[in-house]
Amino acid sequence: DQQVKQNSPSLSVQEGRISILNCDYTNSMFDYFLWYKKYPAEGPTFLISISSIKDKNEDGRFTVFLNKSAKHLSLHIVPSQPGDSAVYFCAASGEVGGSNYKLTFGKGTLLTVNP
Amino acid sequence: EPEVTQTPSHQVTQMGQEVILRCVPISNHLYFYWYRQILGQKVEFLVSFYNNEISEKSEIFDDQFSVERPDGSNFTLKIRSTKLEDSAMYFCASSGLAAQETQYFGPGTRLLVL
């Protein structure tokens, strides 16, 4: 059951460049999307979210873009910093099966930012 | 900044034993959750809790699992008779006043069942 897919297990970028992390979803009932960052042995840390009524949300170096027709979202990090190196999870929620509480996660993408 | 805390950080137990994982959600939050992540796999939803009752539970959350909010601050997950396959990181999360708000996660409890 892969309702949220992150097809790139890893991504490597140079410090100062843009990092683009991608996420696809299959369930059209999802209407709220979040990105979390996770370091080893820690819990997911919330980064940024977007509601389906928007197509872009920006917070400092982080921007999330949502393309509802393609069921695709992406996280842009500009400029990338070595401290951004972590696993990034895409998550979604919505009125799925009568519930809008639970988050459905992708498998994550390991971002490595090289100095 | 308010944060979700969890204890213990690590727990090792024998198969068949009961474990209780503890969480202190963010103080003004009303929705509470447990998720788990088996090594190398996705973070999976277990259960959500609101107004002192379970709102939703996944297929994983069978009769061996239970949740409780014994007082105004703690939120616990009990596994009555642990199995080897319960070994995972268990994350508690909480969110605020509306059902579809950002969920904030604790640091997790690493459970190892031997």
pLDDT digits (tens, 9 = 90+) for A15-39: 999 999 999 999 888 889 999 999 9
Instruction: Tell me the HSE value of B104 on the side-chain side, using a 13 A CA sphere.
Output: 18
Which of B41, B50, B103 is facing A103, going by the closest CB pair?
Answer: B103
Chain A and chain B share a number of CB contacts under 8 A equal to 61
Residues of B in contact with A99 (CB under 8 A): 48, 55-56
CB contact burial B41-57 (16+ within 10 A = b; e otherwise): ebbbbbbbbbeeeebbb
Judged by CB atoms closer than 8 Å, whether chains meet at A102 and B104 is answered as no
Q: Average pLDDT of A39-62?
A: 93
- Residues in CB range of B43: below 8 A, 6 or more apart: A44, A89, A91, A103, A105, B35, B36, B37, B91
- Hey, are the CB atoms on A89 and B43 less than 8 Å from each other? yes
Q: Is the predicted pLDDT of residue B97 greater than 80, yes or no?
A: no
- Closest CA in chain B for residue A35: B102
User: Which of A36, A41, A102 is the closest to B48 by Cβ?
Assistant: A102
Q: What is the mean pLDDT of residues B18-42?
A: 93
Tell me the chain A residues in contact with residue B100 when contact means C-beta distances shorter than 8 Å.
31-32, 93-94, 100-101
| pLDDT over threshold 80, residue A80 | yes
pLDDT over 70 (residue A98) = no
Q: Smallest Cβ distance to A44: which of B31, B58, B105?
A: B105
State the pLDDT at residue A99.
56
Q: What is the mean pLDDT of residues A59-65?
A: 97
- Are the beta carbons of A43 and B91 separated by less than 8 Å? yes
Tell me if A105 and B91 make a contact (CB, 8 A cut-off): no
- The mean per-residue pLDDT over the stretch B8-25 comes to 97
Q: A34: which chain B residues are within 8 Å (Cβ-Cβ)?
A: 102-103
Instruction: Indicate the average pLDDT of chain B.
Output: 92
What pLDDT digit, counting tens, does each position of B98-111 carry? Answer: 656 789 999 999 99
Torsion-angle region of B55 (φ positive above 0: left; ψ -120 to 50: alpha; else: beta): alpha
Q: Which residue of A has its CA nearest to B104?
A: A46
